[in-house]
Structure 1
Amino acid sequence: MDRRLFIGTAALAGLLLPLAGGGRAIASPAGRLLPVALKRGDTVALVSPSSQVDDSFNLQLAREVMEALGFKVRTGANYAARRGHLAGSDAGRADDINAAFADRDVKAVICVRGGSGAARLLPLLDYGVIRANPKALLGYSDITALHNAIHAQTGLVTFHGPNGSGSWNSFNADQFRRLFFKRELMQYRNVADAGDELVPRKNRTVTITGGKVRGELVGGNLAVLTALAGSPYLPDFRGKILFLEDVEEAPYRVDRMFSTLKLMGALDQIAGFIFGECTDCNPGDGYGSLTLQEILDDYILPLGIPAYRGAMIGHIRQQFILPVGGRVELDADAGSFRLLEPVFQS
């Protein structure tokens, strides 16, 4: 998919950034910053940080979804722009995000889609403005770059979940209302789906190492996260609970990315681990392939920390909305985790 085309460039840029002295990166903050609470009737901004949509009708659908949730909608000046596969120039896409955070009438920033290109914006974001105007950011996949950079640079809790043009089925919409409007301390447990099977097969979780642990969530898309290695846009992994997902990655590439996390020291610092879905991560032609289970056994099992796989996180129709930076308790034996503290300002 198009996200993959950018990984090599992003990783190189991340390694050079600390030496270049450019951009507006600032020292990592000491603590968390909670976004303002949302209510029906508030104004939200739709932005396009990554790839352009294949059909402009999806822009209309994203607006209609936000309106159906009860919001007024504003769009960035570059919202429908296009440059190659990207939704406009880097400067234009970054300006829309900066403007959305600076606009006092806007209470949340919703990303239209993922794809590729969000990491190009990280040196162009105004983290001082974002810190001074804390508000919810929602999206997933390539938006992982924004979640990690904003959390690392400002401490702001952001939300890994459906993009504006994605599926807003009843599960996702209900979860959004419970988390954003009712501000529930959510329990994240897979939906049971026995279907026509005597023993359920769908939405099953598998314990890697049992136990319970508490910590703050960090993570997102595996490929996008590892492409930030060596940059100032990754959070502190010490004592955190790492969640990961991916799509259309061959197992040998998944293995390589876990190796990167191991070599950079991230895996040795985390307190817990949750793996979602690796959708269409099938081996290609050749002599054989490691399985996903073998990869997790190689990198996660030796850590001896509470860990499980199969969570409803990733490129799937029904997906959890996760607060990046939110404090949770993970129960690896039960294959679930729960919020311990509010993730919005009171």
Structure 2
Amino acid sequence: MMDRRSILGGMGGAMAALAWPQTALPHGVSGLPLRLHPGDTVGLIAPASSDDEPMHLETAQATVRGMGLVPKLGRHVSDIWGYFSGTDKDRADDIHAMFADDSVRAIFSIRGGWGSARLLPLLDWDLIRAHPKLLIGSSDVTALHLAIAAKAGFPSIHAPNVSNRWEAASWNSLWRLAFTGETPVLGEVAEADRAADRWRITTLRPGKAQGRLLGGNLSVLTSLVGTPWLPDFEGAILFIEDVGEPEYRIDRMMSQLALSGLLGKLSGVIFGQCMRCNANVPNYAGFTVPDILGQYLTPLGVPAFSGANIGHIANQLSLPVGAQVEMDAEVGTIRVLQPVVG
């Protein structure tokens, strides 16, 4: 049997709060997804890559149980079709089933990889709009977050996929957004910890800005430019992160966002972590990722900072995609301005 503490890492301190009262709420209160309560059933889907390691599925279910929730597996989460978890239709059907099932309160993605974007034309957006529920996940799931923002209009949560390790910052921010319905300030760091590399932010342009928080994985986001599945970024706060992309690819993707006009629409930018984003060649003399960010973001004239605890890292923040927020580029915080659950 798995040790729940080993799976949930730093969640322990918040687990005592799981006595939050369970009050049934109807679908679509104020058009928002449903608030989570201990004992609720949540759906687990695999919208992208396959995984032939059964232990990862066990970990996902154990993590959900550790949150005080009851996991319900999608029918096709263990399927393998090429490098996907089932055919495109089957993966889309699992999403439909979870949104249509009134016993399912929210939906967690088990893993990322690649493949969520292939589902977008197959999804029944009338069904999804009629049953607003939190979708929780990250990485390739960015395609679903952005499409929900574009086609359904309710918030979702960019957070670790449920087979990943959940540390304190991830759990605490999810708890405050999805369970208590708070409007927290995310990214606050104690003064004594600010000097530590892991918490250090770089202010590219100081100031505060408000707007709809949109973004996710940079590679996935740029792949949606020019499609109907990308929401309107006018006045938005963009957050982006990536993993395993050398500098020239980051440059190319930032160029695409600039040339498409997306960067020029923003009221602010938050760059998270870019893990293993280097060419890894001897005597490399090209631009670094910080160089590239400065070249594209500083001229925008809007508040911007990098180093946010967002991305393929431990303790990543859970973020409300599609919600109104206020960013502070000098201290590296994101203040949520409206509840994301009803």
State the distance in 2 between where 1:271 and 1:170 align. Answer: 30
* Equivalent position of 1:17 in the other structure: none
Contact 1:208 1:306 in 2 (8 A): yes
Task: Answer whether contact 1:51 1:113 (CA < 8 A) is retained.
Answer: yes
* Residue deviations 1:168-190 (CA, integer Å, cap 9, x gap): 12332233222221222111125
Indicate the residue corresponding to 1:251 in structure 2: 247
Q: How far off is 1:251 after superposition?
A: 0.5
Q: How far is the alpha carbon of 1:127 from its aligned partner?
A: 0.6
How many residues matched? Answer: 312
2:21 matched to which residue of 1? none
Deviates more, 1:72-81 or 1:138-147: 72-81
- 1:232–1:33 Cα change, 3 Å: farther
Give the counterpart of 1:214 among 210, 213, 236.
210
The one-letter code of the counterpart of 2:321 is V
2:175 corresponds in structure 1 to: 177
CA RMSD in angstroms, aligned pairs only? 1.7
What per-residue deviation string (whole Å, max 9, x for no partner) do you get for residues 137-179 of structure 1?
0000000000001110111211100111011123322332222
Amino acid of the structure 2 residue aligned with 1:98: H
Alpha carbons 2:177, 2:341 under 8 Å: kept: no
Supply the distance in 1 between the matched residues of 2:123 and 2:198 (Cα, whole angstroms). Answer: 40
Listed as ranges, the gaps of 5+ residues in structure 1 are 1-31
The correspondence for 1:161, drawn from 159, 162, 182, is 159
Structure 2 spans left out of the alignment, 5+ residues: 1-29
Give the match for residue 13 of structure 2.
none
Q: CA deviation at 1:76?
A: 1.1
Give the deviation of 1:267 after TM superposition: 0.2
Q: 1:44 aligns with which of 39, 42, 45?
A: 42
- 8 Å Cα contact 2:323-2:338 kept in structure 1: yes
Residue 323 of structure 1 is matched in structure 2 by 320
The one-letter amino acid paired with 1:63 is Q
CA contact (8 A) 1:109 1:137 kept: yes
TM-score, normalising length from structure 2? 0.88
Q: Which residue does 1:313 correspond to in 2?
A: 310
Is 1:298 matched up with 2:295? Answer: yes
Q: CA deviation at 1:33?
A: 4.3
Matched letter for residue 295 of structure 1:
I
Residue matched to 1:21: none
Which residues of 2 match residues 124-163 of structure 1 at below 5 A? 124-163=122-161
Cα distance in 1 between the residues matched to 2:262 and 2:229: 14
Match of 2:272 in 1: 276
Structure 2 residue corresponding to 1:34, chosen from 11, 32, 35 = 32
- Contact 1:194 / 1:202 at 8 angstroms: preserved in 2? no
SS at match of 1:202: helix
Could you give the per-residue CA deviations for residues 235-277 of structure 1, whole angstroms, max 9, x where no partner exists?
0000000000000000000000000101111000010000000
Q: Please report how far the alpha carbon of residue 69 of structure 1 lies from its aligned counterpart in structure 2 after TM superposition.
A: 1.0
Q: CA separation in 2, counterparts of 1:288 and 1:125?
A: 45
* Percent identical: 46
3-state SS, counterpart of residue 203 of structure 2: strand
Aligned residue for 1:75?
73
Aligned to 1:93: 91
Q: CA separation in 1, counterparts of 2:86 and 2:285?
A: 41
Structure 2 residue 326 is matched with structure 1 residue 342? no
Q: One-letter code of the match for 2:148?
A: I
CA distance in 2, matches of 1:81, 1:45: 16
Q: Residue 24 of structure 2 corresponds to which residue in structure 1? A: none
Change (3 A) 1:33 1:288: farther
Query: Greater CA deviation, 284-293 or 106-115?
Result: 284-293
Give CA deviations for 1:184-232 in whole Å, capped at 9, x if unaligned: 211112545978x9x4322200100001111110000000000011110
Cα distance in 1 for partners of 2:140, 2:165 equals: 16
TM-score w.r.t. the length of structure 1 is 0.87
Partner residue in 2 for 1:6: none
Instruction: Tell me by how many angstroms 1:84 deviates.
Output: 2.0
1:229 alignment partner in structure 2: 225
